[in-house]
Amino acid sequence: MQQQAILVDEPSDAKGLVLGQSPVPAAGPGQIQVKVAAIGVNFIETYQRSGTYKVDYPFTPGSEFSGIITEVGEGVQNFNVGDRVATASGTAGYAHYAVVDAARAGHVPDAVDLQVAAALPLQGMTAHYLVHSSYIVREGDIVLTYAGAGGVGLLLTQLLKLKGATVITTASTQEKKDLAKAAGADYVVGYDQVAATVEEVTDGQGVHAVYDGIGKDTFDTSLAALRRRGTLVLFGGASGQVPDFNLQRLNAGGSLTVTRPKLDDFIATEYEMHWRFGDIFRWASEGKLDVRIGASFPLAEASAAHTALESRATTGKVLLVP
């Protein structure tokens, strides 16, 4: 049985994402087959498509999707045909049907729309581990983030406010500043205003923590923004990777801490994955977490979705809909 799916035959720009035919994947032992309702588009797929990250071609991108279970593999418990599910750990999700290990999927509450569900797992669990594990935020902390109107940024701000933090973030346009403010950010400034804002808000002491997904262009600013014994969580490199640096800078800055985490290490066990997944979907179903879908494209227009994402003109989450 064949289905429509996006295929990439060789490393390429966004135009290399072509709608073609591929076999419908069967659910193997421990897996579930999902009729895909919506697909989250993420930067990792642009790296895979371009050849920055090595994959085997022909290749169908897509690890994050939501949908309805259509087949349950041998040995699967706690899932049934017809269940609503979502995952950040599937394979070949740019398609009408995809599979995922049951241990890496979660149930979607009835109160959460399936398109919203496709926008939550990866960025939601990322925001969760940042706030609850990588640096454990305490009530009263003052925290700096960047790209406050982005997919992670909007969710991160909301989780920080749930923890009782004061949030300083950045945005490049008035529209993005308004979105970041609506998410709860206390101070939303341009990138060139970060140092002065941190100085003013903290009375010169610096912030307790910085969550930096930008990397090379913001790293020095992030270090300088920290107070004594502050923590820099470098969770991405949108502007490029940070060059090697002298660790003595951490001593000179006031016994600072720098960590470079990734999501996989914080959902390594089934228990931890379901903790994070369960929290974010419960908060979404209770109205405590607003999920912004910035753009939605038909599956056949995957190239346009990648172009929009890479242009950094989008806010919130970019989706594909089969």
The string of pLDDT tens digits covering residues 103-112 is: 999 999 999 9
Q: Which pLDDT belongs to residue 240?
A: 87
Task: Quote the CA–CA distance of 123 and 119 in Å, as a whole number.
Answer: 8
Closest CA to 123 of 293, 310, 320, 243: 293
**Per-residue pLDDT at 137 exceeds 80:** yes
- φ and ψ at 120, to 5 degrees? -100, -40
Report the share of the chain in percent with pLDDT over 90: 93
What mean pLDDT do residues 122-134 have? Answer: 97
CA distances for 321 relative to 20, 35, 125, 134, 169, angstroms: 16, 11, 22, 33, 31
The per-residue pLDDT of the chain, averaged, comes to 96
- Give the pLDDT band (50/70/90) at residue 311: confident
Mean pLDDT of all residues in 44-56:
91
Least confident of 121-125, 134-138, 234-238, 277-281: 234-238
pLDDT of residue 310: 87
Quote the crossing angle between the two packed helices 43-50 and 302-310, to the nearest 10°: 110
Res 213: pLDDT: 94
Q: Is the predicted pLDDT of residue 125 greater than 80, yes or no?
A: yes
Token pair recorded at residue 178: 């308004």
pLDDT of the residue at 237: 86
Q: Residue 313 pLDDT more than 80? A: no
What pLDDT score does 241 carry? 87
Task: Note the pLDDT of residue 239.
Answer: 87
Query: What is the reported pLDDT for 250?
Result: 98
pTM score: 0.94
